[in-house]
Amino acid sequence: MARRLRALLLLLIAIAGWAVAGSDSIAVGDLPPQARETLRLIESGGPFPYRRDGVVFGNRERRLPMAPRGYYHEYTVPTPGAGDRGARRIIAGAAHERYYTDDHYRTFRRIRE
């Protein structure tokens, strides 16, 4: 029973993500090359270049669909010429949805496969 409820919750969150993303989506091929490489690393499980890659993303601003803590994880998209991690990130959800932000969490675009 608990497995079914968890699966249903993941499905509902994924559906909410599709609704939230709406026209605010981006195709994988339209991402910067560094973001495509970060997606590849996420899919293969790393290794990741930044110590904070993979940490829990809290969604405090509630710009993504609401989900239990630990549902979302963040990964750095390197910014050429930046002396730090820069503002670009990919947020990965447990139901395999992915979001891209290039303005440090102010806006998100759902990544279309």
**CATH number, domain at 35?**
3.10.450.30
CA dist., res. 23 & res. 86, Å (int): 25
User: Does 54 have pLDDT greater than 70?
Assistant: yes
20: containing domain: 2-112
Per the structure, how many domains does the chain have?
A: 1
User: Does 105 have pLDDT greater than 50?
Assistant: yes
Nearest to 98 by CA among 21, 6, 46, 12: 21
DSSP per residue, 47-81: --SSTTTTPBP--TT--S----TTSEEEEE---TT
Residues 6 or more apart whose Cβ sits within 8 Å of residue 4: none
Task: Identify the residue with better confidence: 3 or 37.
Answer: 37
Task: Identify the residue with better confidence: 44 or 19.
Answer: 44
Looking up tokens 């829990």 gives 56
Catalytic pick among 43, 73, 74, 97: 74
74 carries an active-site annotation: yes
Burial class from Cβ neighbours inside 10 Å (0-12, 13-18, 19+) for residue 111 reads buried
The pair of three-digit structure tokens given for residue 60, joined into one six-digit string: 């405090």
73 carries an active-site annotation: no
Nearest to 75 by CA among 57, 60, 96: 57
Q: Residue 13's pLDDT band (boundaries 50, 70, 90)?
A: low
Catalytic pick among 43, 61, 97, 104: 104
- Residues making up the chain, counted from first to last: 113
Averaged pLDDT, 51-69: 96
Averaged pLDDT, 76-98: 95
